[in-house]
C-alpha cells in the first residue's frame, strides 16, 4: 500500500555546501524504496522476457540501454560515491558479458585484450569451452543469472547495507535479510515467479566465495555451504554463470570494451575450478573433500601439465601443499610452478612440514581450518616485486598461520578467516635494504571466526654488518652529490635502497611521503648547485632568481658549511625520518600519548628508546645522532617565529640545544628548516621545489638570517632585533612598552606596511582611551618574557587568525578582538603557573572561530563566555580556550557598538578628501600653464581656440591664464602647509583622523608611512601559508 511505502521511505541528510554547512542541510531520498505496484511488476516481467528472447538480435548498444529499463536496481548503483561508480561499471560489463556469450560474439568479448609477457589473448579453443557455460541455460535461467548479477552488485553498496541491513557482516547476509524482510525493495526479484525466486535465493544466500575456490584460497569445509546448490543442476549452472560473468566484468571500471580480465591465462585457471565444480552428478552424495581434490587435480592438469594429477599416496603431504600453494599464488604455467617449488625448498625441513600441515588442514577432519583471505593477491604481488620474491612471502605466510593457531587455540569452529588485505599493498610497493621476511605484524581478533593481520612496516634492524653497509652506501651517495657525480634519476633510485624508512608511509600518509622525498631532493639540488632543476616547476613570473640562488649557495658554503659526506649523510637521514612522527600507527605503537601536534617529540622518543626501528638513524655516528635529537627536542616552528606567535624563549632553547655543537649545530638546524620547507609542496610535484619561489624566499630569508645570528647574539637580543626589523615596516622603533606591545600586535595581525597597520594602531589607541587599565594589562601580557624575573612567556596560538577574522567581520572589528584578548589574559592569570613553569601556550582557535561567526544572527562577539582548560607539560603550561556562544534575541539584528571605523565603509567614505583637493589644484595649474604657452607661441592654436579673433584677444587671454596659474600655485602651497601643520591636531574622536596618533609614531601626510622610512619602502612580507614550518 502507499502508506507502507511511505513508512518504509529511506533517506539521509546532507550538509549544505560552503559556509552554510554548519547550519543548513537537505533531505535526500535514497533510490531504494518499496515497489508495491503489481502492474509495474507485470511490466518488468514482460520487458525481461522480451529482452532475453531478443538478446541475440539486439545490438550491443540497444542491449545496454534496455538493461536499465528491465532492471531498476541498476539506477540504485548510481549513488554519489567512487565505490558505487566502480561497481556500476563492473556490473554493466558483467551483464554485457552474458550478452557476448549468448550471442557468441568472440571478437567483441576479446577486442581490448592484448598479448602480454605472462599471458595471451583468449584463444578460440578456450572460447568454445566458455560457450558451454551458457548453452544449457534457457531463457528463464538467463533472466535469473542477470537478476543475480544486479542484486549481488547492489549488496556491495555501503549506503544500501547501512540503511537496509546494518547488522549484516557479509554481502550474502545483506541480501538474505533484504529478501526476507523487505523484498519489495528489489523489483527485479519481486517480479520473478516462485521457481526462479527460489533459484535466485539459492545463488545469493550462500556464504561462499567462488573466486576463493578457484585459487584454493578457501578450504574443503567452506564447500559445506553450497551442497544444496551442487545437488540441483539448475541452481548449479545458474550460479556458475553468475560467478563467471562477474569475473569477466571485474575490470569493467577500466574498460567496457570487451572483457579485459578473462584472458587465456585467467580462463585456464577458472576452467579448472569450473570443470571440477560441474563434474558433480545430480543426486550424488556430496563429498566436498573429494570435490576440492578434483579441483587441485584439474589445476595441475590444465596449468602445469601434470597429467597424472596428485598421487593419492601423497595427497595429504608435501606435494599437495605445494600444489595448493601454487594455486594460491595464481600460477598458470609450468614455469611458475617451478618457482613455487624453489621457494618452498628454501624453507628448512621443519618449516616445510609445518606449512604443509596448515595447508592440508581441511576444517572437517581437523579443526579449525584457516582461510588466509587475500593471500593470492599477496603472493602474486610478492612474486611480481623483484625486491620481495615468493620465498620471503611464504615465510610470512607461515608466521601468520602460526600466530593464528595460537590466537584460536582450542576453537571448535570449522573455518576461521584471517584477513590479509593490508599486506598486499605492502608487498606490491616494498623496496629497500632490509629483509622483507623480517616484517612485523599483529593479529587483531574481530570475531570468533575472523581476525585481521595488521602489518608493522617498520622493520627493526640490529645486524651491525647490514647497518655498516647502509652507512657506506649513503656516504658514497653523499660524496657523489658534493662532487656532482650523481644525476637525479640515480639519486632517486639510490635513496629508495639506502633509506628503508621511506617504506613506512602508508596509504594515509602518502602526502608526507612525497614531501619527505621532495625535501631529500631539495638537499640534492641545493648541494649539487642545480638551480635549473630546482625552479623548473615554478611560475616563470615568480621563480627563484639567480641572485637569491647565489645567496643560498654562499650561505651553504660559508655559514652552514655542509662540505663533508658525513654531514650530508646526517642531513639526508634527518630529511628521510623527520616526518615519521606524523604516521598515526607509528606514534601509537612506539610513542603512546603523543598527539599529531607532538610529532617531533614522538620521533625523538622513538629514536632514544627504539633506534633499531629507524635503521638510518641507528647507523649514524653518535655526534650526528645527537644533532638530530637536539633539533627535534626544540619546540620551535619557523612559521610561528616569522609571524610573532612565539617568544624569545624559543630562540633561547635553540641556542642552548644547538650551540653546544658549535656554529655547525646552528647551521645544521637552519638547513634542516630550509630543506624541509623547500619540499613542502612535494605532494604536488617532485620536479623541483614548487614552494620556494622568489616571493617565498624573500619572506623566508630574514628569519633565516635572524636564526644564524644566534651564533653571536643573545636569544632575547636576536628576537627583539627580528621583531623590531619586522615591526619597523610599520614602525620605526620601540618608543615605550606600549610601543613594543603594538609591534608584536602588528605582527600577529600580519601587517607589513603603515597602511595595513593603521587599523591596528587605531584600535590599540582607542582601547587606551576607553579603558587604560585593560590597555595596561594587554600591554604587559604581550611583552611578557620569562627571561625577566617573575614573568612568563606566552605563546599565542592562532592569534593571527583571531585578528584576521575580527577585522574581516564588520560586526566584530579589531577593537572587540583586543577586548577579548584582555579577557583571555584575565582568565589565564586566574590560573597561576607553578614555580618551575616559564612558558605558557594559549590556544585561541575557538575564539578565532567565534570572531568569524559572531554577528546579528549568532550573537554579539563580546557577550560570549570564555572557559579554559589547562594542562602541564614539564616547564610549560597549556591553556585551551572554549567559547560558550550567546543566544541572540529573536529577530534582533544588533549593531556592534565596538565595531571599528575600519569595518564601516560609510565612515571611511566620510573622511576629508585631502589628497583629492591637491590633485585637482595640480591639474588646474598644468592646464593654465599649457593654455598660456599655446596662446603665446602658437598662432594656429590661438586661431582655432579664439575663432579668428586671435589678433585682438591673444595677449590679454595669455596674461589672464598666467595670473590664474600663479594664483593656483599660491593656493597649492597654502593647502600643503595647512595640511602638514594641522594633521596631528585633529580631534581624537574625529572620524576624519587618518593614521595612528602619538605617542607612537609620526606619519607624514603624503603616504601614511613612518617618516624614518622612505616613502616607497613598502615591505613585501606576507604570511607563510602553512600550518607548521615542516608541514611534512
Of all helices (H) and strands (E), which one includes residue 739? helix 737-748
Tens digit of each residue's pLDDT (9 = 90 or more) over 284-297: 577 888 889 888 88
Q: Is there a contact between 522 and 549 (Cβ–Cβ < 8 Å)?
A: no
426: three-class secondary structure by DSSP? helix
Q: How many other C-beta atoms can be found within 10 angstroms of the C-beta atom of residue 305?
A: 10
Residues 6+ apart with CB under 8 A from 444: 451, 452, 454
Q: Which of 648, 1022, 598, 646 is nearest to 797 (CA)?
A: 646
Peptide bond connecting 999 to the previous residue in cis, omega within 30 degrees of 0: yes
Burial label, 220 (beta-carbon count in 10 A; 0-12, 13-18, 19+):
buried
pLDDT given at position 674: 94
E strands present in 24-150: 25-29
Of all helices (H) and strands (E), which one includes residue 835? none
Average the pLDDT over 734-744 and give the result: 80
Task: Look up cell 607553578; give the residue.
Answer: 834
- Residue 902 C-alpha cell reads as 575600519
Q: Which of 842, 737, 837 is nearest to 784 (CA)?
A: 737
pLDDT given at position 983: 40
Average the pLDDT over 484-500 and give the result: 90
Does position 155 have pLDDT exceeding 90, yes or no? no
Peptide bond connecting 212 to the previous residue in cis, omega within 30 degrees of 0: no
C-alpha to C-alpha distance for 81 and 592, rounded to whole angstroms: 35
Average the pLDDT over 839-846 and give the result: 90
How many C-alpha atoms does 83 have within 13 Å on its Cβ side? 8
- Residue 88 C-alpha cell reads as 556500476
What CA–CA distances, in Å, run from 272 to 136, 233, 269, 725?
19, 18, 6, 79
pLDDT given at position 839: 85
Sign, CA torsion 996/998/1003/1004: positive
Q: Is there a contact between 704 and 718 (Cβ–Cβ < 8 Å)?
A: no
What CA–CA distances, in Å, run from 302 to 128, 299, 621, 624, 640?
16, 5, 58, 60, 67
Tens digit of each residue's pLDDT (9 = 90 or more) over 472-486: 999 999 999 999 999
Q: How many helices (H) and strands (E) does the chain have?
A: 48, 10
What CA–CA distances, in Å, run from 137 to 10, 132, 133, 767?
37, 9, 8, 88
- Residue 163 C-alpha cell reads as 540503511
Residues 6+ apart with CB under 8 A from 448: 411, 413
Q: Residue 982 — pLDDT band, cuts 50, 70, 90? A: very low
Backbone angles phi, psi at 447, to 5 degrees: -160, 165
C-alpha to C-alpha distance for 235 and 482, rounded to whole angstroms: 71
Phi-psi region of 531 (alpha: psi -120 to 50; beta: other; left: phi over 0): alpha
- pLDDT above 90 coverage of the chain, percent: 34
**Angle at alpha carbon of residue 582, lines to 579 and 587, rounded to 5°:** 120
The better pLDDT of the pair 455, 568 is held by 568
Average the pLDDT over 731-754 and give the result: 77
C-alpha to C-alpha distance for 706 and 710, rounded to whole angstroms: 7
Tens digit of each residue's pLDDT (9 = 90 or more) over 861-876: 888 889 888 888 878 8
C-alpha to C-alpha distance for 756 and 750, rounded to whole angstroms: 8
Q: Which of 871, 905, 745 is nearest to 814 (CA)?
A: 745
pLDDT given at position 281: 62
Give the CA radius of gyration of the chain.
Answer: 39
Does position 425 have pLDDT exceeding 90, yes or no? no
C-alpha to C-alpha distance for 76 and 30, rounded to whole angstroms: 8
Following DSSP, what letter does each residue of 873-912 receive, concatenated? ETTEEEEEEEEE---PPTT--PPPTT--GGG-HHHHHTS-
Tens digit of each residue's pLDDT (9 = 90 or more) over 943-975: 767 666 656 677 787 788 788 888 888 887 877
Q: Residue 888 — pLDDT band, cuts 50, 70, 90? A: low
Bridge partners (DSSP) of residue 450 are 417, 447
- Residue 121 C-alpha cell reads as 589473448
Tens digit of each residue's pLDDT (9 = 90 or more) over 462-471: 888 888 989 9
pLDDT given at position 735: 65
Q: Is there a contact between 855 and 809 (Cβ–Cβ < 8 Å)?
A: yes
C-alpha to C-alpha distance for 749 and 852, rounded to whole angstroms: 15
Phi-psi region of 847 (alpha: psi -120 to 50; beta: other; left: phi over 0): alpha
Does position 22 have pLDDT exceeding 80, yes or no? no
Q: Residue 1015 — pLDDT band, cuts 50, 70, 90? A: very low
Residues 6+ apart with CB under 8 A from 832: none
Backbone angles phi, psi at 764, to 5 degrees: -65, -45
The better pLDDT of the pair 645, 149 is held by 149
Q: Residue 722 — pLDDT band, cuts 50, 70, 90? A: confident
The top-scoring range by mean pLDDT among 101-110, 505-514, 632-641, 987-996 is 101-110
Does position 530 have pLDDT exceeding 50, yes or no? yes
Q: What is the pTM of this model?
A: 0.60
Q: Which of 509, 524, 1019, 518 is nearest to 747 (CA)?
A: 1019
Say if strands 415-419 and 440-447 run parallel, antiparallel, or are unpaired.
Answer: unpaired
Sign, CA torsion 348/354/358/359: positive
Tens digit of each residue's pLDDT (9 = 90 or more) over 266-290: 998 999 899 888 886 655 577 888 8
Does position 500 have pLDDT exceeding 80, yes or no? yes
Amino acid at each position: 500500500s502507499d502508506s507502507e511505502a511511505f513508512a518504509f521511505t529511506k533517506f539521509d541528510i546532507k550538509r549544505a555546501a560552503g559556509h552554510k554547512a554548519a547550519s543548513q542541510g537537505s533531505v535526500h531520498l535514497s533510490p531504494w524504496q518499496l515497489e508495491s505496484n503489481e502492474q509495474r511488476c507485470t511490466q518488468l516481467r514482460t520487458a525481461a522476457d522480451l529482452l532475453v528472447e531478443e538478446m541475440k538480435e539486439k545490438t550491443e548498444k540497444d542491449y545496454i540501454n534496455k538493461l536499465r529499463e528491465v532492471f531498476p536496481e541498476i539506477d540504485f548503483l548510481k549513488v554519489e560515491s567512487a565505490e558505487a561508480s566502480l561497481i556500476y561499471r563492473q556490473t554493466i560489463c558483467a551483464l554485457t558479458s552474458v550478452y557476448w556469450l549468448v550471442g557468441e560474439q568472440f571478437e567483441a568479448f576479446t577486442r581490448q585484450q592484448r598479448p602480454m609477457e605472462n599471458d595471451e589473448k583468449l584463444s578460440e579453443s578456450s572460447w568454445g569451452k566458455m560457450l558451454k557455460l551458457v548453452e544449457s541455460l534457457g531463457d528463464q535461467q538467463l533472466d535469473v543469472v542477470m537478476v543475480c548479477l544486479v542484486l549481488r552488485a547492489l549488496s556491495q553498496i555501503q549506503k544500501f547495507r547501512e540503511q537496509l541491513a546494518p547488522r549484516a557482516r557479509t554481502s550474502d547476509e545483506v541480501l538474505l535479510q533484504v529478501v526476507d524482510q523487505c523484498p519489495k525493495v528489489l523489483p527485479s526479484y519481486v517480479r520473478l515467479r516462485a521457481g526462479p525466486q527460489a533459484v535466485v535465493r539459492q545463488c545469493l544466500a550462500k556464504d561462499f566465495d567462488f573466486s576463493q575456490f578457484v585459487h584454493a584460497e578457501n578450504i574443503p569445509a567452506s564447500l559445506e555451504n553450497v551442497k544444496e546448490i551442487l545437488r540441483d543442476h539448475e541452481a548449479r549452472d545458474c550460479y556458475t554463470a553468475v560467478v563467471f560473468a562477474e569475473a569477466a566484468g571485474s575490470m569493467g571500471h577500466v574498460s567496457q570494451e570487451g572483457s579485459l580480465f578473462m584472458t587465456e591465462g585467467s580462463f585456464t585457471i577458472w576452467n579448472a575450478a569450473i570443470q571440477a565444480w560441474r563434474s558433480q552428478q545430480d543426486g550424488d552424495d556430496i563429498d566436498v573433500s573429494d570435490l576440492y581434490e578434483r579441483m587441485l587435480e584439474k589445476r595441475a592438469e590444465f596449468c602445469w601439465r601434470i597429467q597424472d594429477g596428485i598421487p593419492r599416496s601423497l595427497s595429504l603431504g608435501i606435494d599437495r601443499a605445494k600444489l595448493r600453494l601454487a594455486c594460491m599464488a595464481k600460477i598458470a604455467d609450468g614455469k611458475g610452478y617451478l618457482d613455487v617449488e624453489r621457494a618452498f625448498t628454501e624453507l628448512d625441513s621443519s618449516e616445510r612440514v609445518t606449512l604443509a600441515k596448515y595447508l592440508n588442514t581441511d576444517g572437517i577432519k581437523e579443526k579449525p581450518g584457516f582461510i588466509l583471505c587475500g593471500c593470492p593477491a599477496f603472493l602474486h604481488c610478492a612474486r611480481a616485486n623483484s625486491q620481495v620474491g615468493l620465498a620471503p612471502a611464504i615465510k610470512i605466510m607461515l608466521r601468520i598461520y602460526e600466530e593464528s593457531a595460537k590466537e584460536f587455540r582450542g576453537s571448535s569452529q570449522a573455518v576461521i578467516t584471517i584477513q590479509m588485505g593490508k599486506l598486499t599493498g605492502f608487498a606490491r610497493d616494498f623496496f629497500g635494504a632490509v629483509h622483507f621476511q623480517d616484517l612485523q605484524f599483529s593479529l587483531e581478533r574481530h570475531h570468533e571466526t575472523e581476525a585481521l593481520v595488521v602489518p608493522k612496516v617498520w622493520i627493526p634492524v640490529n645486524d651491525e654488518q647490514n647497518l655498516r653497509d647502509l652507512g657506506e652506501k649513503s656516504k658514497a651517495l653523499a660524496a657523489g652529490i658534493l662532487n656532482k657525480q650523481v644525476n637525479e634519476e640515480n639519486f632517486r633510485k639510490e635513496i629508495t635502497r639506502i633509506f628503508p624508512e621511506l617504506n613506512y608511509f602508508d596509504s594515509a600518509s602518502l602526502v608526507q611521503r612525497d614531501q619527505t622525498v621532495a625535501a631529500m631532493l631539495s638537499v640534492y639540488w641545493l648541494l649539487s648547485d642545480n638551480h635549473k632543476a630546482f625552479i623548473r616547476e615554478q611560475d616563470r613570473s615568480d621563480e627563484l632568481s639567480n641572485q637569491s640562488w647565489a645567496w643560498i649557495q654562499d650561505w651553504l658554503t660559508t655559514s652552514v658549511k655542509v662540505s663533508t659526506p658525513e654531514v650530508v649523510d646526517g642531513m639526508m637521514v634527518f630529511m628521510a625520518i623527520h616526518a615519521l612522527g606524523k604516521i598515526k600507527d607509528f606514534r601509537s605503537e612506539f610513542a603512546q600519548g603523543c598527539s599529531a601536534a607532538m610529532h617531533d617529540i614522538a620521533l625523538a622518543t622513538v629514536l632514544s628508546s627504539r633506534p633499531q626501528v629507524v635503521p638510518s638513524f641507528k647507523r649514524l655516528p653518535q655526534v650526528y645522532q645527537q644533532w638530530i635529537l637536539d633539533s627535534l627536542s626544540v619546540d620551535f616552528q619557523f612559521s610561528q617565529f616569522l609571524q610573532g606567535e612565539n617568544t624569545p624563549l624559543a630562540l633561547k632553547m635553540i641556542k642552548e640545544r644547538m650551540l653546544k655543537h658549535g656554529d655547525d649545530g646552528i647551521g645544521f638546524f637552519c638547513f634542516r628548516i630550509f630543506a624541509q620547507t623547500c619540499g613542502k609542496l612535494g605532494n604536488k610535484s617532485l620536479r623541483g621545489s614548487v614552494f620556494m619561489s622568489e616571493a617565498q624566499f624573500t619572506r623566508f630569508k630574514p628569519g633565516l638570517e635572524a636564526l644564524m645570528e644566534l651564533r653571536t647574539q643573545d636569544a632575547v637580543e636576536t628576537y627583539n632585533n627580528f621583531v623590531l626589523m619586522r615591526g619597523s615596516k610599520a614602525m620605526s622603533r620601540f618608543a615605550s612598552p606600549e610601543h613594543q606591545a603594538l609591534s608584536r600586535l602588528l605582527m600577529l595581525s600580519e601587517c607589513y606596511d603603515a597602511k595595513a597597520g593603521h587599523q591596528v594602531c587605531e584600535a590599540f589607541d582607542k582601547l587606551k582611551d576607553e579603558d587604560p587599565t585593560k590597555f595596561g594589562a594587554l600591554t604587559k601580557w604581550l611583552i611578557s618574557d620569562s627571561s625577566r624575573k617573575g614573568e612568563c612567556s606566552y605563546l599565542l596560538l592562532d592569534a593571527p587568525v583571531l585578528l584576521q577574522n575580527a577585522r574581516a567581520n564588520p560586526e566584530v572589528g579589531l577593537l572587540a578582538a583586543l577586548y577579548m584578548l584582555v579577557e583571555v589574559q584575565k582568565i589565564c592569570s586566574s590560573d597561576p603557573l607553578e614555580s618551575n613553569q616559564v612558558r605558557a601556550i594559549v590556544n585561541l582557535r575557538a575564539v578565532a572561530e567565534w570572531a568569524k561567526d559572531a554577528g546579528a544572527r549568532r550573537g554579539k562577539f563580546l557577550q560570549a563566555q570564555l572557559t579554559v582548560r589547562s594542562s602541564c607539560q614539564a616547564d610549560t603550561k597549556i591553556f585551551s580556550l572554549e567559547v560558550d556562544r550567546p543566544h541572540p534575541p529573536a529577530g534582533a539584528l544588533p549593531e556592534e557598538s565596538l565595531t571599528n571605523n575600519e569595518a564601516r565603509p560609510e565612515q571611511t567614505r566620510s573622511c576629508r578628501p585631502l589628497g583629492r583637493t591637491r590633485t585637482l589644484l595640480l591639474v588646474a595649474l598644468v592646464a593654465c600653464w599649457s593654455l598660456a604657452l599655446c596662446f603665446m607661441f602658437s598662432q594656429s592654436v590661438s586661431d582655432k581656440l579664439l575663432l579668428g579673433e586671435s589678433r585682438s584677444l591673444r595677449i590679454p587671454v595669455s596674461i589672464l591664464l598666467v595670473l590664474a596659474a600663479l594664483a593656483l600655485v599660491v593656493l597649492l602651497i597654502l593647502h600643503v602647509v595647512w595640511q602638514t601643520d594641522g594633521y596631528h591636531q585633529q580631534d581624537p574622536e574625529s572620524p576624519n583622523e587618518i593614521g595612528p596618533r602619538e605617542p607612537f609614531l609620526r606619519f607624514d601626510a603624503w603616504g601614511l608611512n613612518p617618516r624614518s622610512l622612505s616613502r616607497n619602502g613598502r615591505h613585501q612580507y606576507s604570511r607563510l601559508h602553512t600550518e607548521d614550518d615542516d608541514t611534512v
